[in-house]
Amino acid sequence: MKHLNIEIKAKCNDHDKIRSILKSRSADFKGRDHQIDIYFKVNSGRLKLREGNIENFLVFYEREDKEGPKQSDVILFKSDPNSSLKEILLKSLGVVVIVDKQREIYFIENVKFHIDTVKNLGTFMEIEAIDSDGTFGKEKLLEQCENYLKLFSIPKDNLISVSYSDLLLEK
């Protein structure tokens, strides 16, 4: 399944405030997920295997590294945690880094919100405006992200331009 995301990642020390705003907007809480993302060595883009209780995907994505809303072209493959996919990827590609996080997942329409605590990094939040079928378009997704950025009062200096994997590799 291929789709377009516009996303924002930011440092966030006040998860309660984000939860409260999401609740006031009747966000659909999908649950808490302990996720392990294994990033593999690839020639272009990023390839990760996400293992969790709620989400299990092989994810390939290409994304520009910039603060604020950024486009991400994503291809998802629903994976079975009991398959041999992980072993094949580990043996054939090798691991770059592993991201271990606790994640709360919320939705308001096509916008997905993550409240994250990442091992060895700290606390964050993400906003992902998702267009899975071409209904919204890039401009509408950008507008959605900007609106939520303002609603959550996220300071510009809290925005992160790279992935958790990059932050871990920088340590």
pLDDT at position 89, please? 97
pLDDT grade for 65, boundaries at 50, 70 and 90: confident
Query: What number is the average pLDDT over the span 1-23?
Result: 93
pLDDT at position 96, please? 97
Beta bridge partners of 59: 48, 76
Phi-psi region of 109 (alpha: psi -120 to 50; beta: other; left: phi over 0): left
Question: Among 55, 51, 37, which residue's Cα sits nearest to residue 97?
Answer: 37
Which tokens in the block code for residue 116? Answer: 């994250």
pLDDT grade for 101, boundaries at 50, 70 and 90: very high
Q: What residue spans define the domains of the chain?
A: 2-162
CATH superfamily name and code, 2-162? Hypothetical Protein Pfu-838710-001 (2.40.320.10)
**What is d(CA 91, CA 79) in angstroms, rounded to the nearest whole number?**
17
Rg from Cα positions in the chain:
16
- Tens digits of per-residue pLDDT, 19-59? 999 999 999 999 999 999 999 999 999 999 999 999 999 99
pLDDT at position 7, please? 92
pLDDT at position 72, please? 87
Sign of the dihedral through C-alpha 162, 164, 170, 171: positive
Question: Among 84, 87, 89, 128, which residue's Cα sits nearest to residue 106?
Answer: 128
- Tens digits of per-residue pLDDT, 103-121? 999 999 999 999 999 999 9
Full-model pTM: 0.92
DSSP string, 117-142: EETTTEEEEEEEEEESSSSSHHHHHH
**What is d(CA 146, CA 74) in angstroms, rounded to the nearest whole number?**
20
pLDDT grade for 1, boundaries at 50, 70 and 90: confident
**What is d(CA 59, CA 77) in angstroms, rounded to the nearest whole number?**
6
pLDDT at position 69, please? 86
pLDDT grade for 2, boundaries at 50, 70 and 90: confident
